[in-house]
Structure 1
């Protein structure tokens, strides 16, 4: 569909539930990251949804294609697009539940939960506290940063003299997954199989492919857990299965629930961010130059890349009936938090569409929010910061390879290929 700019552009007819006003029913498929564009700021088409004139609750009919069509949302969803409302949905655990989120395993009849993502308070806290030490800033600095720096410098040195690389496929797709596999203790030879399974689960849109991939990965993970139970090592999967929660060992469902959740979340979110980050710098050489010449702003620049590249929009479910913004919400109603809108809300961010690598107080929703904020956020930030540090030390000004397609999906699908070039010194 053409880029929408007003409410009139997106209103649609749909036989919605009785608590949904007709004037709130809209088609927001253009804002869900499934339609590609070639803009420098690929999230620009949905930024207007955070404007003060936009109703605070919109309603998007059921998805008729892609992932939503095979995972079963046949009721439609309320969509919140303003920063203040997104913050409430993520933080108000009395009214909103995360149960069932990203539980693709249900498609093959599995009943274990994705832990801790799909667990609500108060039980969420014990699982979060159990896993958090492995992803704390101090642990990352002490145990992971040397490996991260070693991997990224080796990868950059391999391509520096070549003058070009496919930054999406050959670098962004590989670098964070190498770190993740080393952290978990997974065998290197599973690299391509993992990415194939992950692609089929998240991006194929085919129920048959999703189910086959789910069976494959869960069979592997259960076998890997069993191996670590017999032969423990120093890696994270082994630590998880041999640990204790509240003085007891973990159940089989808790073990697979944690390892599965980490597997699903560890494969392509950072990869998508890297591809979009380098695409923007290649298209905006002045931005690249500014960061290159002032390494002291790398941390804030990474945060701004994250704010302006919200890979995911997270969902919640209403836990009870309640009134909000003059509308009667019903227990079981689905909610979608439109992070690509909230991250550009002018009520929260000054001049939100301008990329400011020195922006202060940059509290965005790219890592979601509330108690379910991304467990690997500190690790992702460190991977991105170290990548920029080492890249600018070794690679001169780069640009998109002439004739290359710079189309991007503004979401997790992101960019499949991004060839960039530079002049070899």
Structure 2
């Protein structure tokens, strides 16, 4: 929506259009005036703005309903959801486990007729804590410190391959590859599956046809069952083997528990850091002063990474409502879904001063890019470590300023797998 369209509306008029006639139908209890077209804030609409997430600012307009209904499929489901867009409401959604459930979140496996949950995300308390305790040792800061030499070696060797060339497609040839290499090493997946994994994931997350999604789900689940059988037959020191042969409180994991964990880690391990890298370098390539500030002050890399995460909220997560209740005057029923538009909440002026001003030294940066509450991203420490090592290695190995190649397309789909190609260049030494 243009600034002119917003500025000419009458006082109290909602600044966002209602969903079009061809949108999926909303449940009968949803007021028609609250069924709005906010696809632009949910990763459905590409743009080429310096900050791709600014369109979502309109969701915090005083005339915008505090809660609205998004009728299109979201959160891995094939139905719509209520939407909250303010920081405090999103925090409640993530932290109020008595009212909101993760049952069915990211349940793409249902497309293949599977009924087991994604573990641990799809598990509520108290069982959730058992699974997190089982997996946490692999993702603690101590574990990440032990992994850092391998992460640094992968990143360093890849940068050295192109540093002297003065150019690289940072999205396709680098960002798409290095975090997946780290993840495949961690799990024990063969690198030979790299392209097939990414093809399956693209179909699951981005292809609109349900049949295409379902075929990809069947493909990866067939592979994972074979992989688990191999790890049971020949255990090793990888996380994949640890899960396949695992037990909790002396009780061996069931086949569905093993598959639920392995599937969930596969789904979450391939693209979040890759998408973050692409958007991070897009911002850096367009801001020479920011490059110089980080290059000359490497001690700010940890806070800079946190700020990159904040301004690039890739996923708008959802929760299932456990009982009827009223929220900001809206009647919400048990079984309804509520989606947190982190694409808006991460820029809430009530929480972040000058939210669109990129501050690489921003303090108290409690964003929702990695979700929140007990379901805070399991791989949060790994993602942060990868990004910190990347910036450190990049500026040490390529100290020259870089920019987007003239004429290159810098369009972004604000969400996962958001930039397919981003050629950048610098004057090689």
Normalising by structure 1, we get a TM-score of: 0.95
1:242-282 per-position Cα deviation (integer Å, ceiling 9, x unaligned): 22112111000000110000000000111000000000000
Q: Does 1:415 align with 2:415?
A: no
Task: Identify unmatched segments of 5+ residues in structure 2.
Answer: 7-12
1:286 to 284, 289, 299: 289
Say if 2:86 and 2:345, in contact at 8 Å, map to a contact too: yes
What CA distance in whole angstroms lies between the structure 2 residues aligned with 1:119 and 1:291? 40
Partner of 2:410: 406
Deviations for 1:365-400, whole angstroms, at most 9, x for unmatched residues?
A: 000011111000000000000000000001111000
Point out the more displaced range, 20-29 or 100-109.
20-29
SS of the residue 2:179 aligns to: helix
300-309 or 22-31, which deviates more: 22-31
The corresponding residue for 1:11 is 18
- Paired position in structure 2 for 1:87: 91
TM-fit CA distance, 1:420: 0.2
Structure 1 residues 97 and 383, CA gap change in structure 2 (3 angstroms): same
Distance 2:396 2:417 in 1: 29
Checking the alignment, whether the CA contact within 8 Å between 1:33 and 1:413 is kept in structure 2 is: no
Distance in 2 between residues matched to 1:213 and 1:402, nearest whole Å: 36
- In structure 2, the partner of 1:275 is 278
| Partner of residue 264, structure 2 | 261
**Partners of 1:47 and 1:157 in 2: how far apart?**
40
Corresponding position: 1:218 with 2:221: yes
Asked if 1 retains the 8 angstrom alpha-carbon contact of 2:15 and 2:61, the reply is no
CA separation in 1, counterparts of 2:126 and 2:424?
A: 48
Name the structure 2 match of 1:47. Answer: 57
| Deviation string, structure 1 residues 298-336 (Cα, Å, up to 9, x no partner) | 000000000000000001111001122122211011111
- Aligned Cα root-mean-square deviation (Å): 1.7
1:247 aligned partner: 250
Structure 1 residue 30: deviation in Å?
1.1
Does the 8 Å CA contact 1:49/1:341 hold for their aligned counterparts? yes
Report if aligned partners of 2:180, 2:269 keep a CA contact under 8 Å in 1. Answer: yes
2:241 matches 1:238: yes
Alignment of 1:191-230 (within 5 A): 191-230=194-233
Structure 1: stretches of 5+ with no match in the other structure = none
- Cα distance in 1 for partners of 2:27, 2:213 equals 30
Change (3 A) 1:393 1:320: same
Corresponding residue of 1:135: 139
TM-score, normalisation: structure 2: 0.94
Find 2:385's aligned residue among 382, 389, 399: 382
User: How many corresponding residue pairs?
Assistant: 418
